[in-house]
């Protein structure tokens, strides 16, 4: 005869009468009927009447049930509850308790809700509980926000640090005259002169007006961004604002959020004294709005243009990340030329108190293509490809750590069983026994040591499980990267811009360029890759068709690091992307070498002759219009330039 599955029944009601329309007896009847229908054997019943479900603490029967589960006393497979809400309303407690139960191969069945944590569908319960926890946190946040809104309505400051120019005393704002002087200068200069925020930052720096150091800021200078925030803040004209900025989820992402300025927000008269007049503040807002319309934002969001190397590309002067942008130029008739996308140093203007003099605008298409070409050259190397394939096929052996986990689990079950027996022995001691005190002291000592042993074993078990997860996660990450690398050229050709950006971020930590474009047209200086490779020192050629050899030093990877591969471009051939010289560069080359001035039209004619013109040329003439043709002398000079820049053979 097949042995029945053993289960526990747990019931809890806040009152002894009923809950959710069901009395305590009705709950028990439903669960017993469920057990009988599924051929379960009820080997234990636990009941907490009149106990709150907000916390597990204080629920004596519940705690006793958990101890019995840990000891393996009855060998149960399930705990039956009437509804999930009867198991506990505090999501954090429920999740942790369920994890403990599953550690001892015991699952939860909610009879009324139809949830079985041992089934695939039932595993979604954990996600549901997490959602419940999120709802609880959101409720707390809403309550907190309501309190802050009420303070704002009363004209009280409800932020953290006092805004610059004020000091906070007993929850009230008071003018800090030492700081307020700079605030008055900022508003006065901005409203009554033609300078903007950037110019104002320079003005303050040149006149020795620096920020007074605070614990919430280390930059001694007033940068343009800070000045704009000061100008926009109505606190300086005696107002209290609430809800000016709101954190919103970035569309199309899972975990990306951004602060968004709100048009409508709460604005009331504050209890504090104003630093500037309300009229002056409003004049500042008018100018801010006018300047915002003056400068067209050309790169508005991810949907328009993705700059593949933004942040990865480093400025050759200051070392800061270079950012993609676009230049919009208009013809005399008002129509636009083709947009020019480029990488430039973000510190060309005063940013966070720093300024860089590097003013080059480097063609974005050129650099993007050059970097992609280098990666293709790297991964197409036979040695590299073979190593990658080997890594994919490598099977991570976790049998040792799995055996370690099993041993700790066994020790834990034995220790819980021993602890349970010791407790039973203590409870059954006869107080009238003349050796009662000694025997109890001995049992207490053994019990305390058992608690220590259980704690140590649990810590070792947690560490072992974490180690296994780390090994598996590392293998998964590496596999994904290796697969992408092996098929990089094919994948890259069909990826969209956002996907290309993601792969660049995954593979590359830094890209360095020359300060000036090299005579051969090369911009790339070095690329620093980040690859989770476990390998000894290795020498590999990046170009199978040439003699160039690049030594790459790889060290053994730890769990908390990646391997950085520094690839010096000085020994590599010029990429085809970099070989695309501009018309200006060709003109300069011809002038320097031959002393000849050539027009863009002549260069275009020669490029078209060699099939290098990919777009429509509007200077070809229409019928009767005569278009001047390049002279033989200038044609030969242009051909020499095209060969120099490796645009033709």
Q: What is the mean pLDDT of residues 144-159?
A: 70
The predicted pLDDT at position 474 comes to 54
pLDDT digits (tens, 9 = 90+) for 552-576: 433 334 333 344 455 565 555 566 6
Of 140-154, 239-253, 429-443, where does the model show the most confidence?
Answer: 429-443
Q: Which residue has the tokens 């707390």?
A: 140
The answer to whether residue 468 scores a pLDDT higher than 60 is yes
Q: Are 395 and 475 in contact (CB under 8 A)?
A: no
pLDDT for the residue 146: 64
Which tens digit of pLDDT belongs to each residue from 183-211?
999 999 999 888 888 889 888 888 888 88
3-state secondary structure of 194: coil
Residue 398 has pLDDT above 60, yes or no: yes
The predicted pLDDT at position 128 comes to 61
The three-state secondary structure class of 311 is coil
Q: Which pLDDT does position 558 carry in this prediction?
A: 39
Averaged pLDDT, 124-131: 56
Which tens digits make up the pLDDT trace of 352-385? 456 788 888 888 888 888 888 888 877 777 776 6
Local confidence band at 26 (pLDDT 50, 70, 90 cut-offs): confident
Assessment of whether the complete model's pTM goes beyond 0.85: no
DSSP code per residue over 102-117: HHTT-EEEETTTTEET
What pLDDT score was predicted for residue 19?
46
- 370 within 8 A of 362, measured Cβ to Cβ: no
pLDDT of residue 306: 83
Mean pLDDT of the chain: 75
Q: With bands split at pLDDT 50, 70 and 90, how would you rate the model's confidence at 345?
A: confident
Beta strand pairing status for 313-314 and 508-513?
parallel
Residue pLDDT, tens place only, 92-111: 567 778 888 888 989 988 88
pLDDT-derived band at 174 (thresholds 50, 70, 90) equals very high
| Residue 378: predicted pLDDT | 75
What was the pLDDT predicted at 339? 76
pLDDT digits (tens, 9 = 90+) for 273-314: 999 998 899 888 888 877 665 444 444 444 467 888 888 899
Is residue 392 over pLDDT 70?
A: no
pLDDT in tens, 602-614: 888 888 888 775 4
> CB of 409 within 8 A of CB of 100?
no
Q: How far apart are CA 383 and CA 360, in angstroms?
A: 38
Tell me what pLDDT residue 42 has.
Answer: 95
Question: Looking at residue 427, what is its pLDDT?
Answer: 85
Q: What is the pLDDT of residue 554?
A: 38
CA atoms of 182 and 205, how far apart (whole Å) = 11
40-44, 355-359, 522-526, range with greatest mean pLDDT: 40-44
Q: What does the pLDDT read at residue 538?
A: 35
For 575-632, the pLDDT digits (tens) are 666 666 778 888 888 998 888 999 888 888 888 888 775 444 444 544 445 568 889 9
Radius of gyration for the chain, computed over Cα atoms and rounded to the nearest angstrom: 36
pLDDT over threshold 90, residue 454:
no
Q: How many CB atoms are closer than 10 A to CB 514? A: 14
**Residue 76 or 524, more confident:** 76
Q: Residue 79: is its pLDDT beyond 80?
A: yes
Question: Which pLDDT does position 626 carry in this prediction?
Answer: 59
What is the C-alpha separation between 548 and 574, in angstroms, rounded?
12
| N-to-C CA span, the chain | 87
Higher pLDDT, 237 or 628: 237
Question: Is the Cα torsion angle 51, 55, 60, 64 positive or negative in sign?
Answer: positive
């Amino acid at each position: 005869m097949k042995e029945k599955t053993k289960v526990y029944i747990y019931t809890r009601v806040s009152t002894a009468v009923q809950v959710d329309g069901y009395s305590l007896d009705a709950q028990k009847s439903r669960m017993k009927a469920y057990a009988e229908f599924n051929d379960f054997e009820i080997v234990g019943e636990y009941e907490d009447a009149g106990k709150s479900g907000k916390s597990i603490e204080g629920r004596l029967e519940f705690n006793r049930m958990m101890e019995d589960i840990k000891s393996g006393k009855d060998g149960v497979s399930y705990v039956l509850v009437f509804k999930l809400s009867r198991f506990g309303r505090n999501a954090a407690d429920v999740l942790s308790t369920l994890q403990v139960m599953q550690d001892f191969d015991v699952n939860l069945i909610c009879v009324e809700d139809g949830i079985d944590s041992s089934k695939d569908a039932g595993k979604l319960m954990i996600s549901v509980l997490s959602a419940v926890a999120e709802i609880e946190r959101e409720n707390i946040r809403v309550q907190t926000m309501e309190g802050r809104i009420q303070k704002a309505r009363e004209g009280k400051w409800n932020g953290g640090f006092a805004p610059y120019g004020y000091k906070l005393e007993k929850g009230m704002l008071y003018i800090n005259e030492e700081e307020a002087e700079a605030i008055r200068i900022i508003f006065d200069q901005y409203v009554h002169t033609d300078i903007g925020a950037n110019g104002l930052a320079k003005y303050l720096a040149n006149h020795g007006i620096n920020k007074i150091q605070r614990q919430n800021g280390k930059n001694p200078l007033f940068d343009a961004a800070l000045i704009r925030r000061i100008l926009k803040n109505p606190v300086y004209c005696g107002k209290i604002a609430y809800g000016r900025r709101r954190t919103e989820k970035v569309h199309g992402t899972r975990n990306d959020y951004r602060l968004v300025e709100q048009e409508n927000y709460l604005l009331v008269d504050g209890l504090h004294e104003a630093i500037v007049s309300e009229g002056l503040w409003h004049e500042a807002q008018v100018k801010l709005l006018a300047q915002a319309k003056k400068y067209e934002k050309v790169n508005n969001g991810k949907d328009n243009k993705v700059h593949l190397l933004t942040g990865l590309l480093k400025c050759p002067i200051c070392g800061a990340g270079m950012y993609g942008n676009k230049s919009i130029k208009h013809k005399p008739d008002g129509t636009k030329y083709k947009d020019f996308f480029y990488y430039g140093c973000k510190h060309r203007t005063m940013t966070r108190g720093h300024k860089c003099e590097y003013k080059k605008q480097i063609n974005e298409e050129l650099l993007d293509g050059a970097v992609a070409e280098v990666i293709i050259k790297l991964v197409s190397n036979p040695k590299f490809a073979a190593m990658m394939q080997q890594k994919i096929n490598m099977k991570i052996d976790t049998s040792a750590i799995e055996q370690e986990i099993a041993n700790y689990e066994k020790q834990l079950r034995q220790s819980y069983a021993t602890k349970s027996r010791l407790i039973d022995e203590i409870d059954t001691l006869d107080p009238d026994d003349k050796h009662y005190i000694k025997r109890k002291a001995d049992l207490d000592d053994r019990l305390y040591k058992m608690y220590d042993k259980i704690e140590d074993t649990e810590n070792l078990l947690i560490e072992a499980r974490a180690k296994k997860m780390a090994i598996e996660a590392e293998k998964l990450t590496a596999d994904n990267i290796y697969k992408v690398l092996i098929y990089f050229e094919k994948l890259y050709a069909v990826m969209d811009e956002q996907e290309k950006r993601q792969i660049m971020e995954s593979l590359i930590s830094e890209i360095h360029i020359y300060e000036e474009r090299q005579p051969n047209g090369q911009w790339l200086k070095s690329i620093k890759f980040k690859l989770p490779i476990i390998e000894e020192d290795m020498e590999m050629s990046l170009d199978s068709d040439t003699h160039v050899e690049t030594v790459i030093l790889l060290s053994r990877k730890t769990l908390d690091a990646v391997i950085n591969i520094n690839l010096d471009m000085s020994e590599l051939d010029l990429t085809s992307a970099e070989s695309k010289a501009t018309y200006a560069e060709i003109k300069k080359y011809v002038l320097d070498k031959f002393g000849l001035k050539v027009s863009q039209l002549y260069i275009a004619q020669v490029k078209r002759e060699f099939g290098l013109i990919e777009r429509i040329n509007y200077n070809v003439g229409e019928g009767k219009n005569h278009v001047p043709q390049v002279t033989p002398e200038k044609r030969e000079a242009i051909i020499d330039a095209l060969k120099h820049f490796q645009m033709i053979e």
